[in-house]
């Protein structure tokens, strides 16, 4: 078996058998990778390891790969970040659940993407450290993630612009063909793209604007990426925010 060290963000877990898990990680070494974790759900021995594999939790690990196995294993795995608030704040945990599902649906490549990984790792750190603006964090995350996925706006925003989803550009007039972001949604997109994550609490978005903008962004993602589908965690997010 070949061993390697890396860092990862938990995107999804699946129960396997009586005591094992299949864990999907976004890693710094090889994009999205899957790991078989045996005995992790056992009430004896290593049962506490299951706590490491919550949505968007960061881990450091030594992995094992073999051409005879369909999935890699962990020789060693431990927490990669010491969280201050994320596991204990239901609002932040809900945002993390949404982020993990979006990434799990979108990231399929098993190739290293340093810029994407660094952004996601940094986003987890920022969410944990955030004091104000948690209700806007998932919107900021989607806006910023569009840059890493290659379909962020291709021009600068001007007051009163609409946003043409098909062309990926702000426009002074409504586009002839849908879909598009309204003037209010286009302004929100520009604000989020230009906003420091630590200043999210200064954005005055009420619940209606958050819901409408989130729907618009999911449609924007869905237009460019077929893998979006129906985001299962969306109803939980809407209940909390």
**Residue 108's pLDDT band (boundaries 50, 70, 90)?**
confident
For residue 186, which phi and psi values (nearest 5 degrees)? Answer: -65, -40
What mean pLDDT do residues 9-16 have? 95
For residue 97, which phi and psi values (nearest 5 degrees)? Answer: -60, -45
| Contact indicator for 119, 144 with CB cutoff of 8 Å | yes
**CA quadruple 48, 49, 52, 58: dihedral sign:** positive
State pLDDT tens for residues 192-217. Answer: 999 999 999 999 899 999 999 999 99
- Alpha-carbon radius of gyration of the chain: 19
For residue 216, which phi and psi values (nearest 5 degrees)? Answer: -65, -40
0.85 surpassed by pTM:
yes
State pLDDT tens for residues 129-166. Answer: 999 999 999 999 999 999 999 999 999 999 999 999 99
Q: How far apart are CA 85 and CA 83, in angstroms?
A: 6
Measured CA angle at 133 (ends 131, 139), to 5 deg = 135
Q: Please, what are the domains in the chain?
A: 2-79 (2.40.50.140), 130-240 (no CATH)
Look at 41 and 20; give whichever has higher pLDDT: 20
CB atoms within 10 A of CB 195: 18
State pLDDT tens for residues 58-80. Answer: 999 999 988 888 889 999 999 99
């Amino acid at each position: 078996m070949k061993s390697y060290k890396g860092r990862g963000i938990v995107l999804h877990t699946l129960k396997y058998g009586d005591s094992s898990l299949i864990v999907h990680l976004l890693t710094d070494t090889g994009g999205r990778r899957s790991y078989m974790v045996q005995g992790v759900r056992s009430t004896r021995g290593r049962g506490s390891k299951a706590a490491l594999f919550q949505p968007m939790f960061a881990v450091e690990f030594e992995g094992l790969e073999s051409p005879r196995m369909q999935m890699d294993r962990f020789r060693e795995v431990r927490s990669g970040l010491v969280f201050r608030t994320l596991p204990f704040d239901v609002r932040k945990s809900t945002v993390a659940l949404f982020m993990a599902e979006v990434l799990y649906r979108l990231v399929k490549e098993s190739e290293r993407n340093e810029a994407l990984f660094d952004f996601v790792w940094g986003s987890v750190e920022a969410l944990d450290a955030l004091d104000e603006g948690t209700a806007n964090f998932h919107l900021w995350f989607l806006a910023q993630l569009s840059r890493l996925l290659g379909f962020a706006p291709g021009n600068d925003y001007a007051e009163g612009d609409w946003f043409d989803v098909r062309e990926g550009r702000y426009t002074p007039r409504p586009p002839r063909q849908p879909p598009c972001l309204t003037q209010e949604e286009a302004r929100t997109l520009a604000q989020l793209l230009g906003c420091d994550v630590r200043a999210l609490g200064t954005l005055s978005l009420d619940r209606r604007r958050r819901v409408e903008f989130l729907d618009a962004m999911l449609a924007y993602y869905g237009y460019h990426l077929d893998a979006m589908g129906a985001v299962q965690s969306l109803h939980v997010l809407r209940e909390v925010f």
